[in-house]
A = this chain, B = another copy of it.
C-alpha cells in the first residue's frame, strides 16, 4: 500500500542525488531532463519539484525555473541551532523505547562509523548511527523535521570533511559518539541529551570556523541582483 506515485519516486531519487552532492547546490533543474531520464512526463516532475521545494531542497522561481537550494553561512548556522534543540528532544523521547538489543546495535554502528573507509561512507554511517539512536518513538513530525534538517546540510557536511585536519575531526566525532552512547546505555536521559547537544554544537562551531565553504561558486543564482 506504499505510495508508488511517480512524483514521490522521482522526489526520493532527486533528494538522494542532491544530498549526495551529485547535483550540487546552485544547479538548475530542467523539468524535461528529469522527465526524460525517469521515463515520465513533466506533470509528476512538477509535483516532485513542489515537494522538494517544501522541504527547502529546491528553490522555484515562477515561470523561470528550479535550482538546487544553496545555503549561506547564516542559514547553515540556523539549521545547526535547530538541530541542537530538536535532536536532544527526540533522543529523550526515544530512550525509553531502547532495549539491551538496541544497545548492541548502537555499538556496532558506532564502530562502523569509526571504520569508514571514505569520507562519503563516513558521512552515511554517521547519519545511520544518529538515526538509530533517535529511532523508536512514532513521532512522525519531529523525526521528519530532523531528517529534513540533516538533508539540508548533508552537502556542506561533506565539504567540511575536505580540508586538512579532518582526521582530527573524525576522531572527535567518534569520541563524542562514545560519550552519547555511554549516557544512553546508562539510561541517563539528561546526560544523553546534553552530550548530543554538545556534539551538534561542536560541529556548528567547526562550521563557523569555515565560512569559505559557502563561497558562491555556481553560476546564476536567482535573487542576486548586482545593483
Contact = CB atoms under 8 A, between A and B. Distances in A.
Interface centre among A2, A82, A89, by most B CB within 10 Å? A82
Q: How many monomers of this chain does the complex have?
A: 2
B142 A74 contact: no
A131 interface: no
Interface in A64-99: 74-75, 78-79, 81-82, 85-86, 89, 93
Q: Is the interface of A mostly helix, strand, loop or mixed?
A: helix
Contact of A51 (B54, B85, B152): B54
Interface stretch (A42-50, A107-115, A154-162): A42-50
A54 B56 contact: no
B50 A7 contact: yes
A60 B145 CA distance: 19
21 contacts: A5-B62, A46-B47, A47-B47, A50-B50, A50-B51, A51-B51, A51-B53, A54-B54, A54-B55, A56-B144, A74-B138, A75-B141, A78-B141, A81-B89, A81-B142, A82-B86, A82-B89, A82-B142, A85-B89, A141-B149, A141-B152
